[in-house]
Chain A
Amino acid sequence: MNSQNNDMGLIVKTMARVTIPLIGIFGAYVVAHGHLTPGGGFQGGATVAGAGVLFLIAFGLSETKNRINKTLYSALEGIGGLVFLAMGMLGFGVVFFYNTLWREGPVFNGEPGSLLSAGYLPIMNLAVGLKVYTGLVSALFAIALFRRWKK
Chain B
Amino acid sequence: MIFTGFFYGILGVILAGVITLVRVMLGPSIPDRVVGVDTLNTLIVAGMILLGAAYDRVIYIDIAIVYALLSYIGTLVVAKYLQGGLE
Q: Is A22 an interface residue (CB 8 A)?
A: yes
A 38-55 to B, binary, CB cutoff 8 A, 1 in contact else 0: 110001000100100110
Contact status A39-B86, CB under 8 Å: no
Instruction: Return the contact of A26 from the options B65, B73, B80, B84 (Cβ within 8 A).
Output: B65
Contact status B62-A37, CB under 8 Å: yes
Query: Number of contacts between A and B (CB, 8 Å)?
Result: 45
Supposing A38-B59, A38-B62, A61-B86 touch, asked if A53 and B77 sit within 8 A by C-beta, the answer is yes
Complex A-B: 16 CB contacts under 8 Å: A1-B83, A3-B87, A8-B76, A12-B76, A19-B69, A26-B69, A30-B62, A39-B62, A39-B66, A43-B66, A47-B66, A47-B69, A53-B77, A57-B73, A144-B86, A148-B86
Residues of B within 8 A of A (CB): 59-60, 62-63, 65-66, 69-70, 72-73, 76-77, 80, 83-84, 86-87
Residues of A within 8 A of B (CB): 1, 3, 6, 8, 12, 19, 22-23, 26, 30, 37-39, 43, 47, 50, 53-54, 57-58, 60-61, 144, 148
